[in-house]
A and B are shown apart, each in its own frame.
Chain A
Amino acid sequence: MRNSLKLLLIAALALGAAGCNDFLSGPGIDQDPNNITRLTRPGPLYVSIQALQSVQFEGQLARNAAEYVQQIAGNSRQQIGFDLYQMDPVTIDPHFFSVYGSSITVQGGGGLLDIRKMQQLAHAVHDSIYVGIGKVYEALVIGNAAAIWGDIPYREAADSTNETPAFDPQLQVYGDVLAQLDSAILFLASAPVPPNAGPPADNSELVYLDRGGNTAALAAVYTQVAHSLKARYHMHLAELDPANYALALAEVPLGISTPANDMLWYHDQSPTGQNVWWQFMSARGDIAPGAGLIEVLKRRIAAGVETPERLNFYFTPTVPGGTPADFFGFRPGGSVNMQTAPGVYNGNGSAAGTYSGFTFIDFNVDPGDLRMPVITYAETQLIGAEAAFQTGGQGAAQPFLDAARANRSYGSRGATPNIFTPLAPVPATLENIMEEKYVTLFLNIEAWNDYKRTCLPALAPAPASLGNTTPGTQPVPGRLPYGITEINANPNTPNVSPVGRNANDPNSCPVLDYTSSVPLGN
């Protein structure tokens, strides 16, 4: 009996010890020991926004855009299908949700959710510059998404309390984005409130690293970016409502005033800093120069409209030191023997069957610190040229086209801008303006938006399937499908044709008649 009592005592001791209240809770037990749960300053979010959203503008969305306007062609694996207009909701999925947030598969980040948090934190520390800059990035990211997908969630998006945000009509999104830019301009103009007076106190600027954290300089340059973006978005709306040409034109003088103020993604040579085009070539290499851009450049050079400088900067000839005649690009999907109009290259490569390569995005050539343009002085001037042409004709457009041709550049390598020699004026016809823009905005999603609006340059559609030598009957897509996760989880997702048209772009471009003997744009 005595033993039994002792035993009971032991059992009680053991049970009592376990009754410790914090056995099942506390830091590291039911609270995450690995991640940050509290943040008081906007800077770390801003770093991620600048770093990670570059993937949205240099990754698959940009590849799709450049394939659709035939600046590049898919010649391997999935990219073959993409430039034959085969984009599906599964593949596009990460690129859609990266507009807003991230996923377990390490995609996205720095999207709308982080951009809004950055603004909230900036508000909390009375940092009006960061609020303004946040709004500029919000407009950049959301405007780009609206251009690609049309109706998108915006007003109800990036809110953890609303799991099924409504899809806002595209035109409303554009309206909101333009309003954001107006608001950004106001915030950037207002003096920061001490003691947290903007970037110098929390210097996280990468894109305009050369401003050295100078608050006034940053406010000034982002104000110009805001105006240039306004000009860009007014152009997006101009096909539907030509009144936007005048609105765009009004923004141009306030926009990016010099190539030195071009907005370029920050990239360096570190393994995780390199520009995404270069990384893609290094890792996958599934794209090749597009016959469209190469043929336009060759024709322009032959016509004396421009020099081989840009051609050589973008692409490599098929023989070392070759002339423009030695450049050959792929047709969409690498389709050879493609039926084309007389004088239009059919995509068979050189006599030896070889094709051009890329210069700066080919991983064998350059280490990838090329800082890719986001929005530039050149684009602003060419917007001015097109808007002026539409509102005032060739004469009004001429100074803008001349300015763009006199100040040619393409991004920078590290801190060194890539500058081309100025070109003499050519008549500011719409074709010349849009071709200048097409060759200037190499690899930029905006080239697709320009094509959707103007159908310039004239492009032969991709064939219906790989190996098919007849150009297809389907026009260049006007949009991309929504991501599968959004379709899956948000019943508000519109059921629209994945390759249909967005509200701002009601008219598809004509499918060209290949029996015509007139050489077409490419």
Chain B
Amino acid sequence: MAQSLFGQLRVTRLMALVVVAAVLLPATILAQQPATLTGRVTAESGQPLGSAGVIIEQLSAGAVTRPDGSYTIIVPGARVPSGPVTVTARLVGYRALSAQVNLSTGSAVQDFILPDNPLQLGEIVVTGAGTVTEVEKLGTGRSSVDSLTLIRSAEPNVVSALAAKAPNVTVVSSSGDPGASTHIQIRGQTTISAGSGISGADAQPLFIVDGVPVDNSVSYNNPSFTSLNSSAAPSNRAIDINPNDIENVEVLKGAASGAIYGSRAGQGVVIITTKRGRPGPTKYSLRSSVSLDEVGRLPEFQTKYGLGTAGVAPACVAGGPVNCVVGFAQSGSWGPEIPAGAPTFDHSGEMFQTGHTFDNALTISGGNDRTTFFLSGGATNQRGIITGNNDKFERISVRFNGSHRVFDNLKVGANIAYVDGEGGFITSRNSTDGLLLGAWRSPPDFNNEQFRDPVFGLHRSYRFPNPGPGSEQASRVYDNPFFVANESFNKSEVGRTFGGVNAEFTATPWLSLAYTLGADYSNDERTQAWPWSTSNSTVVGVNGVGGVNAGYVRSFQIDHNLTATARYRVSPAFSGSVTVGQNLNSNTYQTRQSLGTGLIAPEPYNLGNTSSQLPPYDFKQTIRLESYFAQVSADLWDQLFLTAAVRNDGASTFGADSRRNWYPKGSAAWTFFRSAEGTNRFLTYGKLRAAYGQSGTQPAPYLLTSVLLGAWNGNDGGWGPAISSQQNGLGGLITGYILPTTDLGPERVKEFETGFDLGLWQDKADLGFTWYRAISSDVILNLPVAGSTGYTQKPANAATMRNAGIEVALNLRPVTTRNFAWDVGFQVATNRNRVTDLAGVQFVPLPISGGTNGLGIQGVAIEGQPLGVYYADDFVRCGRGLSFEGVDIDNTAGHCQGAPADALYIAADGYPQIDVGGTYIVGDPEPDWTGAVRTSFRVNKFSIGGLLDIRQGGDAHNGTKGALHHFGTSRESQVNRDGGNFVFGETFYDHEAVSGPGVGTGVPLGENWYAGSGGIFNGATSQFVEDGSFVKLREVSLGYTFDQPWVSRVLGFSSMELRVAGRNLHTWTNYTGVDPETSLLGAASPLRGVDYFNNPQSRSYVFSLTLNR
């Protein structure tokens, strides 16, 4: 229905446009000789300005300046007018200037010296759904990232490239793997569980490219076959956007700016505008870069003790009995001391290599007075930092952006991109067939690099060191990391087309119409293979015998957006515009995947080579939106700018009783000061702004129907075993776990923001300040339902939540001369989140946070707390009303009586004790503040820049350390094993206040401690929560531009830029794990900072060459 409806609509529209077009005659043009206009555009400092646009508006002619600032416009004789024309030069960051030029003489020269305009006053800003405004009229704070900034970050994933670019836009890459997903959060999280529910773009902003919504979801492989945190982590789909194509990114941060997108804007909106051609000579640009990537921080390991327990090695060691298995109890490195001279291995870093990324982008753009085009081709080929051939990301993309002015009042255009992507991902995280889990638990004297045994050529791991005949299809308990890197693979092959066609029609001087019909189609073919002898224990039926999961994830979105804008002018002091619009959107997500288990022969990884196949996973969802919106703006006395808008959304996901919803917004911007040109004053520009708006988040579809579920694999509390509801050829059904609900409406975010923008010292500095407060109400909760109802959750518009914060951006440009310029920018942001009402429920786990999933930690919503606090078990502490071994410790002398609250209780044996029944808030991943410092120098043709990314506060859970302690491979566990006795509260855990009968007792910290209370499996989860503050040297770059005449003469290019850059070069942090910037589930979950054998981040050295003509 969707397609036929849209098809019908499109045909109707286009036919009508053609009819209208035919009625209108093009303007009559008189014949004459051609005219040439030349000149040079420079900044006030004298620096030539390349890439500036010089346009003769009335002739639709123009050019783009070369790197030396020069330009040439040739006007065809037929179009040369007899009188003077207005020529305008403009460049982002400079004030546009116009001049009157007479072309009738055949040639003319016009130079422009553009004044700096760091506040970008007068620049057009895209504000969404077809609306635009000018910077000074914005009633909200603006966060904009330009093309150069994106490209210089050299990140293949545009979302990663936004890191530290705008205050309160928090970006976290899940790992340094090629194509790893990146999570973006704007002004904190406004939702707990919402989103489409399936595609995984939950709690992620809406992405718009050239006016068309695009998919940025993260789709894990078949959720019914595997647990999320033990499968490979796929990409977020915004990775399909070639950063080289992007002209500008506008971030609509809150409801006050995003209300125009109604029920899709609850988490903010990222509006991407791609480059387009400009009239003038055809320009070519070729950018080639190579990046060397290496692993970032790694934990420290011990090399003193070998495999075993209690100082004794098991019988099953390398060279021992064939096909023996090292039992879990013997699988730590708590064995005997490794003899001097015996080889030990660097299990921390041995499986990493220097990866590389080749990125080539060619763009060709240009046009004439009627037609412009932009063509680009990009090829990115990334080999990751993990050894073997399976850690990779490749992207080939082409884009065509074109427009043609059919008549003077009708312009049609198209923006279309095709992307072919391929990602290869290495299984990581909480998985016995993951890379680091097996690697970092290996004893130091086991040679992992020899991952096949020399006699039979079979996969060997330290838990299964001597494979022999009969073990070809036996699990290795943990996979050898080199086997993981070389033999198992997870592939995602994406074909994607996105873009749209558009038309702009100026019906009368005061009325214009704009239409966009956009589509985004992607097909992601997935293959995940588990070879023979795989240790995977979470995917049903592949353990040892191997298997293949194959299928596709398909997404199709079609979007129709029609707006009509009327401009009015009541008096010189009162003008404005009225926009009305309609938006129709249909978004379909479909996946079909099959799991075949038991490879018949070791290869190929094909479903036909499997001995049994599980019922396929087959899922489809369609979400429809039918919306109308209107916006009115009023400009008063050229200093007070008022805007009001309202959107009415109908959504298929809303219950029948809440089918349509209103989202209003209103804003005021008052330019209270604007100095006259050249006046020398401290304050050169001042604007006060305030805005209020509402936006929403839709519920997941199909929540209102009670269903029976088939092909169910009921598992045993998440610990591996699962039984299918289909047995012996009979299909079984169970009742779905969602308690049938009668109605669901949107989540609503109501935001008020206010602030000011100042230009200071003749625009040598600018300062922006914003304060906001957003209330999320009707937040959809999967309310936990008492299991005794037969259901375990019920979706309801139940919770409320608050986000409030400030954002400050200060930019200084102390020196700007022709040959030297220095600027520095600071940004600081805070966001405070509080869950204010949780419908009486004690806590709600974040969706797909993995539950506890054996890690013992989960992110939850708890009333009165920031969203996502860590909830886990803890040691017995004072002041909690606890009893220990029958003693009421708080009220018993010699125990906790008189002790500070939360003092660690030390039992008579000298050790802290696990609080078995309790669950506590043990950490908060939300930072106190985030910030960035950016600076750049330009000395002649050299430019140097740097970016520091700062996060202060915010916890991270270092579960990896807890496991390494348990296994005795961490350096700390060995040092303490050898360190004699320790006293809790004094020489160990010295940051803790202690109380209890065992205070002061010296105790050893060996295997009993680390494999017991001091480790991840049997110890208090809370002890691995650490401060995740960091300062990261995010980017450093040094470039030199050659634009001397010889460049053109010798190379045939007008300029050449060489650049050396570093990314993520260093991290200063007290976090003891790999990197506090991590997330177990990538962008698929709002759970932050949980580290459990996550693949590490990488640092990169990038060399790039850009040729322009």
Q: Which residues of A contact B (CB under 8 A)?
A: 2-4, 6-7, 9-11, 13-15, 17-18, 20, 22-26, 28-37, 39, 43-48, 50-52, 54-55, 59-60, 75-78, 80-81, 86-91, 93-114, 117, 152-153, 157-160, 162-165, 204, 206, 209, 266, 268, 270-274, 276, 279-280, 282-286, 288, 334, 336, 352-354, 363-364, 464-468, 473, 481, 483-490, 493, 498
Whole-angstrom distance between the alpha carbons of A432 and B564 in the complex? 92
Q: Which residues of A have CB within 8 Å of B618?
A: 34
List 8 A-B residue pairs with CB atoms under 8 Å apart, sorted by A's residue number.
Answer: A3-B24, A101-B790, A105-B715, A113-B735, A153-B788, A165-B786, A282-B475, A486-B787
Q: Which residues of B contact A (CB under 8 A)?
A: 1-2, 5, 8-9, 12-13, 16-17, 19-20, 23-24, 224, 310, 312, 315, 325, 327-329, 474-475, 477, 505, 507-508, 511, 513, 537-538, 540-544, 560, 562, 564, 582, 584, 597-598, 612, 614, 618-622, 624, 626, 650-653, 656, 659, 701-702, 704-710, 712-728, 730-737, 739-740, 782-794, 841-843, 851-852, 854, 873, 885, 909, 911, 913-914, 916-919, 1008, 1011-1013, 1017-1018
B791 touching A353, Cβ below 8 Å = no
Q: Which residues of B have CB within 8 Å of A484?
A: 919
Q: Which residues of A have CB within 8 Å of B702?
A: 30-35
Q: Which of B507, B713, B787 has a CB less than 8 Å from the CB of A99?
A: B787
Whole-angstrom distance between the alpha carbons of A48 and B719 in the complex? 20
B787 touching A3, Cβ below 8 Å = no
B792 touching A485, Cβ below 8 Å = yes
A465 touching B1013, Cβ below 8 Å = yes
B652 touching A30, Cβ below 8 Å = yes
Minimal Cβ-Cβ distance residue in B for A334: B329
Q: Given A14-B9, A35-B709, A285-B328, is A106 in contact with B714 using a C-beta cutoff of 8 Å?
A: yes
Whole-angstrom distance between the alpha carbons of A117 and B706 in the complex? 13
Q: Given A39-B708, A157-B788, is A9 in contact with B16 using a C-beta cutoff of 8 Å?
A: yes
Minimal Cβ-Cβ distance residue in A for B474: A364
User: Within the complex, what minimum Cβ distance (angstroms) separates B1016 from chain A?
Assistant: 9
Q: Which residues of B have CB within 8 Å of A468?
A: 909
A271 touching B540, Cβ below 8 Å = yes
User: Within the complex, what minimum Cβ distance (angstroms) separates A47 from chain B?
Assistant: 3
A36 touching B537, Cβ below 8 Å = no
Q: Which residues of B have CB within 8 Å of A164?
A: 786
Q: Given A13-B16, A47-B727, A465-B913, is A103 in contact with B708 using a C-beta cutoff of 8 Å?
A: no
A90 touching B919, Cβ below 8 Å = yes
A23 touching B584, Cβ below 8 Å = yes
B329 touching A75, Cβ below 8 Å = yes
Q: Which residues of B have CB within 8 Å of A273?
A: 723-724, 727-728
Minimal Cβ-Cβ distance residue in B for A158: B790
Q: Which of B731, B737, B1012 has a CB less than 8 Å from the CB of A101?
A: B737
Minimal Cβ-Cβ distance residue in A for B512: A7
Minimal Cβ-Cβ distance residue in A for B659: A24
Q: Which of A10, A23, A111 has a CB less than 8 Å from the CB of B626?
A: A23
B841 touching A10, Cβ below 8 Å = no
Whole-angstrom distance between the alpha carbons of A498 and B918 in the complex? 11
B1017 touching A100, Cβ below 8 Å = no
Whole-angstrom distance between the alpha carbons of A30 and B653 in the complex? 6
Minimal Cβ-Cβ distance residue in B for A44: B733
Q: Which of B8, B19, B707, B873 has a CB less than 8 Å from the CB of A36?
A: B707
Q: Which of B9, B310, B909, B916 has a CB less than 8 Å from the CB of A18?
A: B9
Q: Which residues of A have CB within 8 Å of B2?
A: 23
Whole-angstrom distance between the alpha carbons of A14 and B516 in the complex? 12
B731 touching A44, Cβ below 8 Å = yes
A111 touching B790, Cβ below 8 Å = yes
B841 touching A489, Cβ below 8 Å = yes
A24 touching B650, Cβ below 8 Å = yes
B728 touching A206, Cβ below 8 Å = yes
Q: Given A30-B652, A44-B733, A488-B784, is A270 in contact with B790 using a C-beta cutoff of 8 Å?
A: no
Q: Which of B19, B475, B584, B734 has a CB less than 8 Å from the CB of A114?
A: B734
Q: Which residues of B have CB within 8 Å of A152?
A: 788
User: Within the complex, what minimum Cβ distance (angstroms) separates A377 from chain B?
Assistant: 24
B914 touching A4, Cβ below 8 Å = no
User: Within the complex, what minimum Cβ distance (angstroms) separates A81 from chain B?
Assistant: 5
Q: Which residues of B have CB within 8 Å of A46?
A: 732
Whole-angstrom distance between the alpha carbons of A485 and B13 in the complex? 54
Minimal Cβ-Cβ distance residue in B for A468: B909
Q: Given A10-B20, A26-B1, A465-B913, is A158 in contact with B788 using a C-beta cutoff of 8 Å?
A: yes
Q: Which residues of A have CB within 8 Å of B786?
A: 153, 163-165, 485-486, 489-490, 493
Whole-angstrom distance between the alpha carbons of A31 and B1008 in the complex? 56
User: Within the complex, what minimum Cβ distance (angstroms) separates B479 from chain A?
Assistant: 14
Q: Given A48-B734, A50-B727, A283-B719, is A102 in contact with B626 using a C-beta cutoff of 8 Å?
A: no
A28 touching B620, Cβ below 8 Å = yes
User: Within the complex, what minimum Cβ distance (angstroms) separates B653 from chain A?
Assistant: 7
Minimal Cβ-Cβ distance residue in B for A77: B1017
Give the most central of A46, A51, A99, A162: most B CB within 10 Å.
Answer: A51
Q: Which residues of B have CB within 8 Å of A465?
A: 909, 911, 913-914, 1012-1013
Q: Which residues of A have CB within 8 Å of B477?
A: 285
B727 touching A55, Cβ below 8 Å = no
Excluding A86-B916, A109-B709, A276-B723, 7 further A-B contacts by CB distance (< 8 Å) are A20-B1, A36-B707, A59-B716, A103-B793, A206-B728, A209-B728, A473-B885
Whole-angstrom distance between the alpha carbons of A209 and B788 in the complex? 31
Q: Which residues of B have CB within 8 Å of A9?
A: 16
A10 touching B730, Cβ below 8 Å = no
Whole-angstrom distance between the alpha carbons of A14 and B783 in the complex? 41
B792 touching A283, Cβ below 8 Å = no
A10 touching B723, Cβ below 8 Å = no
A3 touching B792, Cβ below 8 Å = no
Whole-angstrom distance between the alpha carbons of A162 and B312 in the complex? 58
Q: Given A24-B659, A30-B653, A280-B721, is A112 in contact with B790 using a C-beta cutoff of 8 Å?
A: yes
Minimal Cβ-Cβ distance residue in B for A50: B727
Whole-angstrom distance between the alpha carbons of A23 and B5 in the complex? 9
A109 touching B852, Cβ below 8 Å = no
Q: Which residues of A have CB within 8 Å of B736?
A: 35, 102
A280 touching B543, Cβ below 8 Å = no
Whole-angstrom distance between the alpha carbons of A111 and B1008 in the complex? 40
User: Within the complex, what minimum Cβ distance (angstroms) separates A206 from chain B?
Assistant: 6
A14 touching B562, Cβ below 8 Å = yes
A25 touching B652, Cβ below 8 Å = yes
A106 touching B712, Cβ below 8 Å = yes
Q: Which of B16, B788, B1012 has a CB less than 8 Å from the CB of A97?
A: B788
Whole-angstrom distance between the alpha carbons of A111 and B732 in the complex? 13
Q: Which residues of B have CB within 8 Å of A283?
A: 537-538, 543, 719-721
B537 touching A284, Cβ below 8 Å = yes
Whole-angstrom distance between the alpha carbons of A93 and B719 in the complex? 13
Q: Which residues of A have CB within 8 Å of B310?
A: 336
Q: Which residues of A have CB within 8 Å of B1018?
A: 77-78, 80-81, 466
Q: Which residues of B have CB within 8 Å of A14?
A: 9, 12-13, 560, 562, 582
Q: Given A101-B737, A353-B312, is A160 in contact with B328 using a C-beta cutoff of 8 Å?
A: no
A60 touching B716, Cβ below 8 Å = yes
Q: Which residues of A have CB within 8 Å of B543?
A: 282-283, 363
User: Within the complex, what minimum Cβ distance (angstroms) separates B521 from chain A?
Assistant: 18
Minimal Cβ-Cβ distance residue in A for B966: A77
Q: Which of B19, B656, B705 has a CB less than 8 Å from the CB of A32?
A: B705
Give the most central of B584, B789, B843: most A CB within 10 Å.
Answer: B789
B715 touching A45, Cβ below 8 Å = no
